[in-house]
């Protein structure tokens, strides 16, 4: 098992030993890309409205801004590779292509070999940190190009109502979305809509909206927009509330994307 964290990337081969009956892995959204290669365990993975019971060899690609979580049976071990990296390491043509990809893929033998090479690079390759980062990123780019041309794996199920709501939120993220508006638009009572969304997504619908607004605001800030102006654009009446939530997002990324390397096994 390895953990390589350096220069804005975080690649790890992880094994969680059996410990507790059931656990919802951290429900979150982030500004970087993430690839998970599932090796073994009993895991149900949710990315937005798509849900899949993972099989060994499955690949999950999570684009920036996609809400996701895993429900894991910790009575058995959970082994996977986890690759986190910013879009800045990808060529421009690939950034746009992968943003449109579905999250779930069946891996080919060639793709599975990519992850085995990560172990070899880390354990036996005579590489400096910069060299190791370069070979990791090169293989990730090749993997993403292959996935972008491969058929995605159908999720085990998809919640059509939640999918429609998420699409509407994404397409209208700059507006002042409200529970009243969503209830009227989708012809559900506010209580039903709230309960159904919370049941499926493990988060309230308005928390989800605020989270997506913060992610969209982050993209504009990266392009040079002032934080105060962006807060106005996304309907945050209280700038201090926006700023606290925005900094929480960045601090969460910093914890997972530390620029220093750790050799500790996980």
What tens digit of pLDDT does each residue of 188-204 get? Answer: 999 999 999 999 988 89
Q: Which helix (H) or strand (E) holds 12?
A: strand 9-16
Mean of pLDDT over the chain: 86
Residue 44 pLDDT: 94
Average pLDDT over residues 136-144: 95
Q: Which CATH number applies to 159-235: 3.40.50.10260, 3.40.50.450, 3.20.20.10, 1.10.10.60?
A: 1.10.10.60
Beta bridge partners of 44: 53, 71
Q: Which CATH number applies to 3-155: 1.10.3720.10, 3.10.20.30, 2.60.120.280, 3.40.1160.10?
A: 2.60.120.280
Q: What DSSP string describes 87-121?
A: GGGS-HHHHHHHHT--SEEEPPHHHHHHHHHHHHH
Range picked from 20-24, 105-109, 139-143 for highest mean pLDDT: 139-143
Lowest mean pLDDT, pick from 23-32, 81-90, 95-104, 110-119: 23-32
> Based on the number of CB atoms within 10 Å of its own CB, is 136 exposed (0-12), middle (13-18) or buried (19 or more)?
buried
Instruction: List the strands of the sheet with 3-6, edge to edge.
Output: 3-6, 9-16, 78-85, 33-40, 58-62, 104-106
Q: Give the separation between CA 148 and CA 144, rounded to whole angstroms.
A: 6
| β-bridge pairing 33-40 and 104-106 | unpaired
Higher pLDDT, 261 or 46: 46
Query: Could you state, in order of their start, the residue ranges of all structural domains in the chain?
Result: 3-155, 159-235
Task: Name the pLDDT band for 264 (thresholds 50, 70, 90).
Answer: very low
User: Taking a C-beta distance cutoff of 8 angstroms, is the pair 144, 99 a contact?
Assistant: no
Q: Give the separation between CA 205 and CA 183, rounded to whole angstroms.
A: 11
Residue 257 pLDDT: 36
Write down the pTM of the prediction.
Answer: 0.84
Average pLDDT over residues 18-43: 80
- The answer on pLDDT for 103 being more than 70 is yes
Residue 23 pLDDT: 53
What tens digit of pLDDT does each residue of 202-227 get? Answer: 889 998 998 889 888 888 888 888 98
CA-to-CA separations, 39 to 33, 57, 61, 194, in angstroms, rounded: 20, 6, 15, 35
Q: What DSSP string describes 46-91?
A: EETTEEEE--TTEEEEE-TT--EEEEEETTS-EEEEEEEE-GGGS-
């Amino acid at each position: 098992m390895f953990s390589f964290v350096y220069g804005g990337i975080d690649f790890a081969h992880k094994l969680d030993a059996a410990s507790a009956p059931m656990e919802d892995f951290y429900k979150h959204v982030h500004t970087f890309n993430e690839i998970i290669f599932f090796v073994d365990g009993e895991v149900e993975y949710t990315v937005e409205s798509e849900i899949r019971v993972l099989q060994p060899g499955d690949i999950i690609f999570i684009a920036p801004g996609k809400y996701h979580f895993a429900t894991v049976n910790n009575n058995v071990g959970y082994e996977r590779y986890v690759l986190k990296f910013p879009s800045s390491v990808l060529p421009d043509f690939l950034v746009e292509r992968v943003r449109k990809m579905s999250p779930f893929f069946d891996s080919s033998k060639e793709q599975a070999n990519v992850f085995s090479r990560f172990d070899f690079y880390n354990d036996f390759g005579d590489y400096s940190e910069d060299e190791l980062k370069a070979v990791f990123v090169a293989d990730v780019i090749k993997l993403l190009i292959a996935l972008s041309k491969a058929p995605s794996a159908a999720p085990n199920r998809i919640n059509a109502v939640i999918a429609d709501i998420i699409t509407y939120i994404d397409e209208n993220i700059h507006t002042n979305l409200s529970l009243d508006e969503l209830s009227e638009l989708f012809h559900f009572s506010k209580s039903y809509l709230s309960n159904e969304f919370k049941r499926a997504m493990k988060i309230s619908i308005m928390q989800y909206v605020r989270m997506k607004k913060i992610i969209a605001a982050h993209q504009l800030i990266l392009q040079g927009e002032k934080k105060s102006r962006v807060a106005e654009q996304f309907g945050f009446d209280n700038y201090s509330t926006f700023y606290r939530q925005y900094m929480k997002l960045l601090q969460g990324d910093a914890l997972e994307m530390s620029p220093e390397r750790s050799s500790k096994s996980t």
